[in-house]
Chains A and B, each alone.
Chain A
């Protein structure tokens, strides 16, 4: 009898131990996320703000975990350029062995890392690159949350023509895949609607003084809108030079500067009066009344004592979408890829997500328009 009781006790103890260790093991499981962000160079403001969004998401998710999984992120500096991005992607894949990768922001860098990541059969979730080539003709391992250059460019051109009554435009863009692509889409749509593009002015990232470009623009006939596609630093200088030459509203002229998702919040304060009337697309509207937006904005303010930017928001969104996939059973690169592809009507801080056959998010509620007001704050235009 004693022997039988002892055997029963030992059996229960072993089962208990196994169950407990199983639970502990489940809690130890980690989804490894590689992050390719520009941490150095002219696009490094992307990386700094992306990291804030990622850290907030990790803090929230790792309190309890998702389906027994915690999340760990390894950052690599991809520098917003093809070569360093490719090297960073290889380092991530070989040393960290991620289950999923997020980033890059700049299209040229994203396009460069896509073949490397595809070869490793790891899903890449992108939020910041607008070039159509990222999802056309389609790569089974690359997904994009943000609207691509065609979705943004067509929408921007239609709004310029119909809402702003613009009939003439001058295109200013950096000579990169994204810059050239964005400008081309605007031109195609705008001219098809009946508008006229007076000049297309591309420039390298090493241009600092935009007075000569502003002089050339000022010498053209009446311009209604100037779609501008460049990173924040050059964007500041262009906006100031255009105002100085008296072309744009900020300089007393009548032309409206417009743009897509390139510039962070806070741009208008840095540019000063020159940014008056600037209308641009952002990927996040903190004035939205949805709970997910209000909660994110409050949590961000509590952690960083600042309002979140759209870069903060879309980085946060990337991690939260991965968490949603893990909740639906994602646990390794293949199942996370499949989970991403099966995403339907995910509602996040930037808007909703649902991928088409090319893995492009089809939802246009991620496009938000804002306009700079005279006091250098901005207002949401609610155009979409």
Chain B
């Protein structure tokens, strides 16, 4: 029984960690390239969740197609908001302006969603939410299997993109030294736009994956984003591998804290780890093995 519970909580932790990683990756990408915290990221997640919900329930589309729609909508919105708000503010040369603007965008999006979707929680059921696989006393829903599979695939694709494509290498160059990258013929503004589009697409997709797990309201993303920020800090701001590792660790910590201590202590344990990391290794979990971020 004890082994079963340990294994079950490990699965629960990996599922939760995968969701956190999906949300945190966008945050860390933007920070890595722009050295900017995007406070509106949570609201892109929420919008992705609602997009998937309405695409499934109003149009009757399948869940996987809905994930795709949320991804595309996130990307499009990321492009639009960056082009219309953040880029003009960055041109003014004051780095504080776009940072404050992300807070403004966040409040605006939350209230727009509140006006459109109302305050009452939505129940987002997919065909896979209630289908449960049971094996040797362990249970896992197909929804959670999909979460792990899609998260793994996304992480692998993002890693390959960053490591092996020209654009990925260019992004890493911009994150290391924007001015020098510009002198080498790379257009930093286009790559900043690309970063926003990728991060927002990831957020939209994360929303669609999270929606069946989250309490779906216009404020849904905010309940995850604080944990995502902690993960980004623990993993090392701007470090993709660190973020993945930290996300999984936080997911596992949550599961085992729930099992062996009390779920009321989750935040204390997670944020104690964050403070410990800041004190002992402020650059993050695996930053020493890498010289560059992103």
Contacts and interface: CB of A to CB of B under 8 A. Distances in A.
Interface of A: 39-42, 44-45, 47-48, 175, 201-209, 211-213, 215-216, 219, 232-234, 236-237, 240, 244-246, 270-274
Contacts of A205: 223
Interface string B233-252: 00000000000000000000
B224 interface: yes
A206 B139 contact: no
Contacts of B141: 244
Given A48-B120, A246-B134, 4 more contacts: A44-B119, A212-B13, A212-B258, A215-B5
B214 interface: yes
Given A203-B264, A215-B12, A270-B121, A208 B214 contact: yes
Nearest to A211: B12
B165 interface: no
B119 to A, nearest CB: 3
Given A209-B15, A237-B215, A47 B263 contact: no
Q: Which 10 A-B pairs have the closest CB atoms?
A: A44-B119, A233-B215, A270-B123, A233-B121, A212-B258, A203-B263, A45-B120, A202-B264, A212-B255, A212-B12
B87 interface: no
Contacts of A246: 134, 139
Nearest to A273: B130
Nearest to B213: A209
26 contacts: A40-B119, A40-B219, A44-B119, A44-B217, A45-B120, A47-B119, A204-B263, A204-B266, A206-B227, A209-B15, A211-B12, A211-B16, A213-B263, A215-B5, A215-B9, A215-B255, A233-B217, A234-B215, A236-B123, A237-B213, A237-B215, A240-B129, A244-B132, A246-B139, A270-B121, A273-B130
B43 interface: no
A204 B13 CA distance: 17
A274 B130 CA distance: 9
Nearest to A250: B130
A215 B132 contact: no
B160 interface: no
A351 B116 CA distance: 35
B227 to A, nearest CB: 8
B283 interface: no
Contacts of B224: 208
B118 interface: yes
Interface residues of B, number: 44
B226 interface: yes
B109 to A, nearest CB: 13
B125 A272 contact: yes
Interface string B93-111: 0000000000000000000
A242 to B, nearest CB: 12
Given A212-B255, A215-B5, A244-B141, A40 B114 contact: yes
A208 B213 contact: yes
Interface string B36-71: 000000000000000000000000000000000000
Contact of A245 (B139, B254, B259): B139
B222 to A, nearest CB: 9
A236 B215 contact: yes
Query: Max chain A CB contacts within 10 Å: which of B1, B226, B227, B266?
Result: B266
A272 B226 contact: no
A69 B122 CA distance: 40
A274 B224 CA distance: 25
Contacts of A204: 263-264, 266-267
A236 B264 CA distance: 19
Nearest to A274: B130
Contact of A42 (B5, B217, B259): B217
B152 interface: no
B121 A45 contact: yes
Given A206-B223, A211-B15, A233-B215, A216 B120 contact: no
Of B119, B125, B129, B134, most buried by chain A (CB within 10 Å of CB) is B119
A208 B223 contact: yes
Contacts of B154: none
B130 A244 contact: yes
B206 to A, nearest CB: 13
A211 B9 CA distance: 9
A206 B267 contact: yes
B262 interface: yes
Contacts of B16: 209, 211-212
B114 A212 contact: no
Contacts of A201: 262-263
A143 to B, nearest CB: 26
Nearest to A206: B223
Contacts of A175: 264
Contacts of A213: 258, 263
B263 A45 contact: no
A272 B123 contact: yes
Nearest to B257: A212
B131 to A, nearest CB: 10
